[in-house]
Every structure is written in structure tokens, then in C-alpha cells.
Amino acid sequence: MALDNESLDQLIKGVRRFVKERLVPLEAQVAETDEVPSEIIREMGEMGLFGMSVPEQYGGLGLNAEEEMAIAFEMGQTSPAFRSKIGTNVGIGSQGIVLDGTEEQKEKYLPKIASGEIIASFALTEPDAGSDAGAQKTTAIRDGDSYILNGTKRFITNAPEAGLFTVFARTDPQSKGTKGVSAFLVESGVPGLSLGKNDVKMGQRGAHTCDVIFDDCRVPASALLGGVEGQGFKTAMKTLDRGRLHIAAVCTGIAERLIRDSLAYAMERKQFGRPIAEFQLIQDMLAQSRTEAYAARCMVMETAKKRDAGENVSTEASCCKLFCTEMVGRVADRAVQIYGGAGYVAEYGIERFYRDVRLFRLYEGTSEIQKLVIARNMIRGAS
Ligand code: COS
């Protein structure tokens, strides 16, 4: 454990209270305005939430995976837009630097990422490189002591707010596939970097994505992550291993929230003269959701412990991402069903969660990609 039990307990309780008292009351407002209020972002910074996974020596909380997942379960208990604000700093925006950055890069960026002073974003996906992440077309051509970047990144989470991008680009244009891809730390505002307009999405209003466009964007050679070419794809995959586990934990938290709401509604709503919770077909849905959310919590914690023990959890992280993201979809669907007509009406907030959770099966690797990773690792392990 990176924290002693008492400090961890206090942190978890503090986040739980913050979610309940500050975030839940703002859910409808955030959906309506498409903005998380700036004071909420400031408060999340004060609680250290941007720096959960950044080592203490760089100003973060330095949580291990088990502790981070315990907080992610709590942050999952409200609209995912709030978690998304800290999500890239905690996960894909910082972990490339933590895992593979040079000491200089760590010292330069991690303290600002940990405090939330800069939002860190992960620019991997392209118009023609989604699931096939190795098919990067963006290029970074060495020119003296600089690289010149050209290409377009798509659906980049937190790009509109980002101060720093981890950008994946091909340093060896002759190479195909995963080899020849390198990672760069590119600060926003550099000439040649521009943003597209915000994407209009199915849900998760308040969390923003857009294109990031590089047009002869010159960055210093020192922007090359780790100072080594050709390692970018592996950095991306390692980063996603932890990110996928975090998403699984968030989905578990959302499922638990929806189950709580569904149960409360079912116990209050009366039909045929009694609360609908007394009907076995409603109980069937409640019990299925409860069982699946419990399984999700167990597998996330088990994988986090294995990771903290130094084991390679690539397979398990994909198992968690696959199960938990699909699970929360089923739980949200049952929640709509238990609420009945009210589940379809915006005022009750359930239809919003139903739309919000759909994204989890897509980003940080679709369900199909998780299956592919799991099965490939099984075959490799057996041969
Ligand atoms: N950790 C460390 N290294 C890894 C790794 C991991 N989790 N996964 C793969 N690698 C390494 C492999 O060992 C291989 O190394 P060598 O070249 O030395 O053998 C290299 O990376 C290439 O791996 P692989 O051959 O498996 O690559 P593929 O192109 O076949 O594709 C998939 C791998 C499909 C799994 C990958 O492209 C992927 O995860 N796609 C989804 C991308 C994604 O999640 N996008 C969401 C965007 S972020 S919101």
C-alpha cells in the first residue's frame, strides 16, 4: 500500500462525500450546459485527484492500483463527465510519462499534471487508425534538433482543455505497423497544432473530445518520449493496460449507483397495490444487476492486487474492461426497465446514464479488441 490504511480510508470517505454533496446535485446542470463548473475542477485539484497515479516525488498521491481503483469506484457513482475531467491526467495522459519518460520530462510535466495545472491528453486514434492502432499515419520527421509533425488525431478526450498531448507518430515513414511509431510530448499552443470543433456526442455531456491537427508542427527533439524512437506503440499499450482497469472500476461504480437508485425506486413505486420491488420479475432484474456488479468489483480488485504485486495483467485488464463495460450496459438497461416510462424521461436522469455508459464499450479499446487481446494472450501462453 502506498498510503496507510487510515489515510486511504479518509481519502475514500472524502471522495464519497464530495461525490454525494457536490457532484450528484450538479448532474442535470452539467448535462444541460455541457460544462463542468470551474469551481468543481478546482476542488478536485485541491483533493489531489488529478495526481492520483503520479508518484509522490513528482507531487502526486502516488496511489497503487488497488487504491486508485478504490477511488475510481467512488468517482463512478455520478455522471462520468466529472471523472473524465481528471481521467486523462490519472490515466492515459500521464502514465506514458511515468512509465517511459526521461527524468527531465517527468520533472517538467508530472507536477503540473498532478496538480491539475495542465490537462494531459492522449492522441493515438486517427481517422484511419482506431482499433488498428498500429496503422498510424501521422508522421514525425527529424529535422536537425527538431521533429516536424503532420497528421490528424481523432476523438481526443479532453483535447479542447489540454495543455499537453502525448502524440503517437511514425518517425520511420518506411516502416509499416507498430514498428517505427514514437511518442512525443507536445504542448498546446505550439505553431502548427490546431483543434477541430468539439464533437457532438450521444452522451457524456460535459466531457469534451475533438480532432487535433498537426500541420508542419515543429517540436524540439527533447519532446521525444523517453528520448528513444520506435517505442511509442509499446508505451501506448502499457498505458492502456492501466487505463482499461480504471475504466472497469468506473463502470462498476456507475452500476452500483444505478442499482441503488433502481432499488429505491422499486421500493417506492406502487403498482397493483404494492411496491414493485415485491414482484419477482423486478427482483430478478435487481438480483442479476447486483450479482454482476459484485463480480465486477471482485475482478477489478483482484487484477489491481496482481498488478501491484508486479504481475503482467494485460489479459486480466482486458477481461475487466470487457466484462465491466458490458455489465454496466446491462445494468443501465435494467434500470430503465425498472423505472418504466420514467426511465425514458430525462427528468429522472436514468436515460442519461443509459446513454453515458454506451461509450465505455468503445473507447480505450472496443469490446471486440479486448476479446482479441485476451484470446491472443491465451494462445501465446499455451504455445
Ligand atoms: N504491453 C507491452 N507491450 C505490448 C502490449 C502490452 N500490453 N501489447 C502489445 N505489446 C507489444 C507486443 O509485444 C509487440 O512487441 P514486438 O513487436 O516486440 O513483438 C508490439 O507491441 C506489437 O503488438 P501486436 O503485434 O499485438 O500489435 P497489433 O498491431 O497486432 O495490435 C492491438 C494490437 C489490436 C491489441 C492494438 O492495436 C490495440 O490495443 N488496439 C486498440 C487501440 C485502442 O485501445 N484504442 C483506443 C484509443 S485510446 S482512447
**Do residues 239 and 345 both lie within one domain?**
yes
Q: Are residues 292 and 222 in the same domain?
A: no
Protein residue whose Cα sits closest to atom 12 of ligand 1: 234
Of 230, 248, 266, the residue at which a domain comes to its end is: 230
Using CA atoms in the order 353, 355, 357, 358, what is the torsion angle rounded to 10 degrees?
Answer: 170
Which pLDDT does position 2 carry in this prediction?
Answer: 66
CA of 233 to the centre of ligand 1 (A): 7
Could you give the C-alpha distances from 365 to 134, 166, 181, 199, 372, in angstroms and in order? Answer: 13, 17, 18, 19, 10
- CB of 374 closer than 8 Å to CB of 322: yes
Say whether both 44 and 62 belong to one domain: yes
Is residue 18 domain-shared with residue 144, that is, in the same domain?
no
Question: What is the rounded distance in angstroms from the CA atom of residue 47 to the CA atom of residue 44?
Answer: 5
Q: Are residues 155 and 289 in the same domain?
A: no
Query: In terms of domains, do 103 and 124 share one?
Result: no
pTM over 0.85: yes
First-residue to last-residue Cα distance in the chain: 35
Beta strands (DSSP E) in the chain are 120-123, 139-143, 146-157, 164-170, 181-187, 193-195, 209-220, 270-271, 274-275
Give the count of domains, the chain.
Answer: 3
Residue with cell 492515459: 92
105 CA → ligand 1 middle, Å: 24
* DSSP 8-state symbol, 156: E
Judge if 82 and 192 occupy the same domain.
no
CATH code, domain with 358: 1.20.140.10
Q: Please count the residues of the chain.
A: 383
What one-character-per-residue DSSP string does 224-261 give? BGGG-TT-HHHHHHHHHHHHHHHHHHHHHHHHHHHHHH
Mind listing the pLDDT tens digit for each residue in 1-33?
A: 567 889 999 999 999 999 999 999 999 999 999
Residues 206 and 150 occupy one common structural domain:
yes
Q: Which residues pair with 213 in a beta bridge?
A: 152, 194
Cα–Cα distance measured from residue 319 to residue 307, given in angstroms and rounded to the nearest whole number: 14
Task: Give me the chain's average pLDDT, please.
Answer: 97
Contact criterion met (CB below 8 Å) for 114 and 58: yes
Same-domain pairing of 182 and 238: no
Show which of 169, 202, 230 is a domain's final residue.
230
Cell 521533429 belongs to which residue?
147
What does the block give as the cell for 371? 476479446
The per-residue pLDDT for range 288-309, each reduced to its tens digit, is 999 999 999 999 999 999 999 9
| pLDDT value at residue 124 | 98
Q: What is the pLDDT of residue 4?
A: 86
Of 185, 184, 181, 183, which is closest to residue 230 (Cα–Cα)? Answer: 181
> Where among 115, 143, 160 does a domain terminate?
115
CATH of the domain at 91: 1.10.540.10
Helix (H/G/I), strand (E/B), else coil: 311: coil
CATH assignment at residue 125 = 2.40.110.10
CA 93/CA 89 separation, integer angstroms: 5
Q: Which of the residues are catalytic?
A: 364
Q: Within a 10 A sphere around the Cβ of 103, how many other Cβ atoms? A: 7
The alpha carbon of 261 and the centre of ligand 1 are apart by a number of angstroms equal to 38
Range(s) of the domain holding residue 73: 5-115
The protein residue whose alpha carbon is closest to atom 25 in ligand 1 is: 178
Residues 156 and 197 in one domain: yes
Does one domain contain both 335 and 249? Answer: yes
- Weakly modelled stretches of the chain, pLDDT under 70: 1-2
Amino acid found at 243: G
Ligand 1 atom closest to residue 130's alpha carbon, by position in its atom list: 45
Ligand 1, atom 49: closest residue by C-alpha: 364
Do 211 and 261 lie in a common domain?
Answer: no
| Residue bearing the CA closest to ligand 1, atom 37 | 133
Pocket test for ligand 1, best of 233, 237, 368 (most atoms within 8 A of CB): 237
Cβ neighbours of residue 180 under 8 Å, at least 6 residues apart?
170, 171, 172, 173, 174, 229, 230
CA of 238 to the centre of ligand 1 (A): 8
Query: Which residues line the pocket of ligand 1, CB cutoff 6 A?
Result: 122, 124-125, 131-134, 177-178, 233-234, 237-238, 240-241, 314, 363-365, 369, 372-373
